[in-house]
Each structure stands twice: as C-alpha cells, then as structure tokens.
Structure 1
Amino acid sequence: MLVAIAALFLLIGVVAGVIGSIAGLGGGIFFVPALMFFANWYEPGSMPPQVAAATSLLVIAVTALSSSISYIKQKKVDMQSALLFFIGSAPGAIVGVYLNTLLATEDFTLLFGLFQLCMFVVLMVKDKLRPRQINWEVKRQFVDNEGKEYEYGYSRWSVITIAFFVGITSSLFGVGGGVLMVPAMMLLYRFPPHIATATSMLVIFFSAVVGSVTNIFHDHVNWLYAAMLAPGAWAGGKLGAIVASKLKGRTIVLFLRILILAIAVQMIIKAVIG
C-alpha cells in the first residue's frame, strides 16, 4: 500500500509541478488537498491542515527551485524585481507561519477564495481597460519571442508592501503565494506574462525556504510525504518551464484565468462545507 501511495504522490508532484511552473503558482493548490485526503486516508489523523500546509510549502520550494533554474537559463527572470519582492515576502512568510498556529483558517479561506474570484473578473476585463501611462520610479522593458515589446514598472515600497501580504498568504495556506503575486505583477505593474510567471517562481522559492525553515523549527513538516512529492515536483517544475517557453503570452494569461477560477471555487467550497 505504501508503494502505491508513493507512486500516486510522485504523479501528483509531476502534475502540480508542471501546472504551477507554467502559471507561476508553485503547485500548492494541489499539494495541500492531496496531502489532507490521501495521507489521512492511509494514516487517519496523520495530516492536519497545519502539517499539510507546512509539508506543501517545503515541496513548493523544490518545484520553485527547479523552475527558476530553467527560467534563469531562458533569461525570463527579472532578478532585481525578484529580490525586491523577496524583501517583503520573507517577513510575511514568517508571520504567516505564526498565524497558521494561532488562528482558524476557515474565514481566511473564504475571503481568499472571494478575492481570487475578484482577480479572475479583473483578468477577464483587463484587456478592455484603457492602458495607462507608466510613471513608476523603476521602469523595465522586455521583448518576447513574438517580437512584442513590453514596458512595465513599479515603486519599490508598493512592491515590498504587496509582497509582505503575499508572503503571509504563502505560509498561511501553503499555496506558494503565486496566486496573488502573478496577478499583482500583471495588473498593477504590467509585467509581461512570461516575466511575471518566471519572476514569481524565484520569489516563491525564496519565500518558501524562509517559511519552511520556520515550519521545521516548529516541527510541522511530515518528511515522509515531502519525500514522496519532491521528486515529481522537481521534474514537473523543469517540464513546466519548458512548456511555458513554447506558449504565447495570451495562452499563459488564459491558463492563469482558468486556474485562478478553479482555485477560487475550491477555496469557497472548502470554507462553506468545512
């Protein structure tokens, strides 16, 4: 039976790694439900939500590292922006771990699901909004494989503030934080889709490491199940980065919209039925 569970978790790791890497999300939306359902089915009571979130976050670090290495080789990662996001997300990740130990997450889950639903609506209508002139203190340019030129930018303090809340979400729910970070990059700062997803994965890696160290300190990680998920997550992260490099920016945005809607529905249903 243990071999069957290990094979199942290997497959889940691959699928979650691929999808998380393409969308810049990390894969935690798959890891947490899988851990809570299958681990508790195999060993009843062995995987409370707190441990599932902590174990998921550790595996997310593996996925994000694998993806980031590939994205860096493709020159899709905005390193300076990633480090700035990390400055905010690192303390947020630590705060999220402590909130996870102190607070019931049902209300947070419902609010998070409703927020993601709002993100889906905004992503659906964003192409119909009039583009505004960028007047940020930091400006960037990028030309994608189709020859389309993008200009994007941000103010440093707004990035740090948003990244702080992303870090909290990452550790609190064990989802990596990309479900907030990628839409924020695209909607607030006009990051091109390829740069947003690639940069998000590097920030997720940094934040997941910080959150995981804190979780390990509190002995929240289930090492057996983390080891079952990690090999598939590593392979899936690399494969996802390769697939993403072949996709058009519009395809990534469409993929992101569908995934965010699925996350929103999942979170809301989970909060309602408990």
Structure 2
Amino acid sequence: MITPILLFSIVICSNLIIGVLLGMSGISGFLLPLIYVGLLDMPVHDSLALSFLSFAVSGIIGAFSYWKSKNMDIKLAILLSIGSLPGAFLGVQINVLISDFMAKLLLYLFVLLAGLSILLKKNNETNKINRSILLNHSFMVILLGFITAVICALTGAGGPILLVPLLVSLGVHIRKAVGISLLNSVIIALPSIYGYFAHASLQNTSMLIIASLLGTIIGIITGTRLANKVPIHHLKMMIAIITILSSAYMLVMLTVGS
C-alpha cells in the first residue's frame, strides 16, 4: 500500500528526473505514464492526465529556453501545431473508447518501439542533412502534425519522441528539432489534459498536481541549462536502454496478469 507521502515523493522525483532529461534531449516524457501506470498502478486516464499536465509545463519552459538560444523555427512550429490540435482531440477520443488493457498494451508497445528507435538511430547532431522539400509544403507539415498528435495523445507519448527524429531526418538541426517539438508538445497537451481529466478518477488530486508541477518545473529548468554541456548521444543511449528494459518488463507483466 503506497501512502500519500510516498506517492507525493515518487511523483515529484519522477517528474524532476524526467524533466531534466526532457530539457536536455527533448525525449523521455513518454516514461511518465509508464511510471504512473506500471509502478504506481494508477488508472490509465489518471496517469495520462497527470502526464500531459507535465508535458504542457515542460513544453512551455523548454520551448522558451530554446527560442532564447535561437534554436526555434516559429513558422514550422505553427504549421505543425495547426495539425496537432485536432489530432490530439482525436487521439484522446480513441483512447477513451478502447479498454484499459488495450490502452496499456498500446502504451507499453509504443514506449518499447520508441526505445528501440532511439537505440538504433544514428547520431545526426554533427552530420548535416539537406532540408527536405516536404517542409516547404504547408499541407504536408500540417498533416505531419496531425498524425503525430493522434499517436502521441492516444498513447501518452507526449510529442518529441516522434517529432524529433522525424524532423532531424527531414533536415532540421537537432537542437531546433527539440525546440520545435517541445513547443508542439504544449499544443498536443492542451486537449489531452482536458479530455483525460474529464475521465479521470484521481484521488488526492491537488497533491498529485502540485508534486507533478513542482518536479517538472525544477527538472526542465535544470535540463535546459545543461542541454549544451552533456553529449546528447550518450544521454539518448541511456534513455533508450532504460526505456526498452522497463517497457519490456511491463509488457510481460501485463500479458501474465491477463
């Protein structure tokens, strides 16, 4: 039985650590719902409500920091966000309609695939890639924002885990890709927060929100300040290994429990 004090401590520590990682690399936010659902055994909708609240806060602070350091493409971010807003609404509605087992299964599978993609992805921070002509077509960028938002809102992945590698592969510098993705994660989070809190049955709601916000704010501020001081490739590899092991374990436990 987890006491309220222990629950508060776990939530604040989880958000603090993941906030730091998110500020440095733009990824790892997808680990939050994994902790809430897997470690704390919270209902799926409760977990996603708290997770997207953290994504919104970390996205605002992180995006502002990357904008100040001139690592932001505002036009590209706006076009992606135009598609992401309705995409996030659709993703939440799909999640609400499916069973808890299916929602957990999708979450764990997506997190596992995300970890594998990070592990197998080559480090392109110093390798320049020509900017894709796809990014010159507004409709295609909006469509990209819509599709990624549906997946992220449905699974609780946040946003950057999909958008960062996609943008980098299309020729966007990795630092700008992180900044754009953090801003886009705010747009995905807004309808997700509304949708999941409407279906949540949170106990100690105020306490959990305070713990979540406090940990996230401290973590993301720390992470953005460390962003240029830590080799991003090594950081990603560490996140990938933790992600793969934890999601694989939760998949096994879910199938055994069913």
Name the residue aligned to 1:76: 71
Q: In percent, how many aligned pairs have the same letter?
A: 21
Deviation beyond 6 Å, 4+ runs, structure 1: none
Structure 2: stretches of 5+ with no match in the other structure = none
Q: Deviations over 1:102-137 (max 9, x none)?
A: 12235534652564366336523879x9x7754516
After TM superposition, list the pairs within 5 Å mapping 1:83-94 onto structure 2: 83-94=78-89
Moved more, 86-95 or 238-247: 238-247
TM-aligned CA deviation for residue 178 of structure 1: 1.3
Report the residue type matching 1:163 in the other structure.
G
Structure 1: how far apart are the matches of 2:35 and 2:74?
A: 32
Contact 1:170 1:177 in 2 (8 A): yes
**Structure 1 residue 61 displacement after superposition:** 0.9
Instruction: Please state if 1:273 is matched with 2:253.
Output: yes
Deviations 1:57-116 (A, max 9, x none): 112111111212222222212111111111121111111111111122355346525643
User: Counterpart in 2 of 1:98?
Assistant: 93
Could you tell me the TM-score, scaled by structure 2's length? 0.81
Kept in 1: contact 2:49–2:196 (CA 8 A): yes
**Counterpart of 1:194?**
175
Tell me the SS of whatever aligns to 1:68. helix
**2:152 alignment partner in structure 1:** 170
Match of 2:221 among 232, 238, 259: 238
Equivalenced residue count is 245
Change beyond 3 A, Cα 1:107–1:161: farther
**Number of the residue aligned with 1:34:** 35
Q: CA RMSD in A?
A: 2.8
Once the two structures are TM-superposed, the CA of residue 3 in structure 1 deviates from its matched residue by: 3.1
Against the structure 1 CA distance between its residues 74 and 50, is the aligned structure 2 distance closer, same or farther, given a 3 Å change threshold? same
Distance 2:138 2:69 in 1: 25
Report the 3-state secondary structure (helix = DSSP H, G, I; strand = E; otherwise coil) of the residue aligned with 2:228.
helix
- Paired with 1:4 and 1:107, the residues of 2 have a C-alpha distance of 27
Instruction: After superposition, give the CA deviation of every residue in 1:176-219 in whole Å (9 maximum; x if it has no partner).
Output: 121111110111x1211111111111111121112112223x24
Contact 1:57–1:176 (Cα < 8 Å) also in 2: yes
Residue 24 of structure 1 corresponds to which residue in structure 2?
A: 26
CA–CA separation in structure 1 for the residues paired with 2:131 and 2:65: 30
SS state at 2:157 partner: coil
Match of 1:263 in 2: 243
Contact persistence 1:26–1:201 (CA under 8 A): no
**Distance in structure 2 (CA, Å) of the matches to 1:98 and 1:3:** 33
Seen in structure 2, the aligned counterparts of structure 1 residues 107 and 3 have a Cα distance that, compared at 3 Å, is closer
- Structure 1: 5+ residue runs without aligned partners? 41-46, 138-152
Distance in 2 between residues matched to 1:73 and 1:126, nearest whole Å: 23
Residue 54 (structure 1) aligned to one of 46, 49, 53: 49
Residues 19 and 29, structure 2, Cα contact 8 Å, conserved in 1: yes
**Aligned equivalent of 1:208:** 189
Alpha carbons 2:30, 2:161 under 8 Å: kept? no
Tell me, in whole angstroms, the C-alpha distance in 1 between the residues paired with 2:20 and 2:131: 33
Q: Deviations over 1:231-251 (max 9, x none)?
A: 11011111111111334xxx3
Q: Is the 8 A contact 1:32 1:52 kept in 2?
A: yes
Q: Please state which structure has a larger fraction of its residues in strand.
A: 1
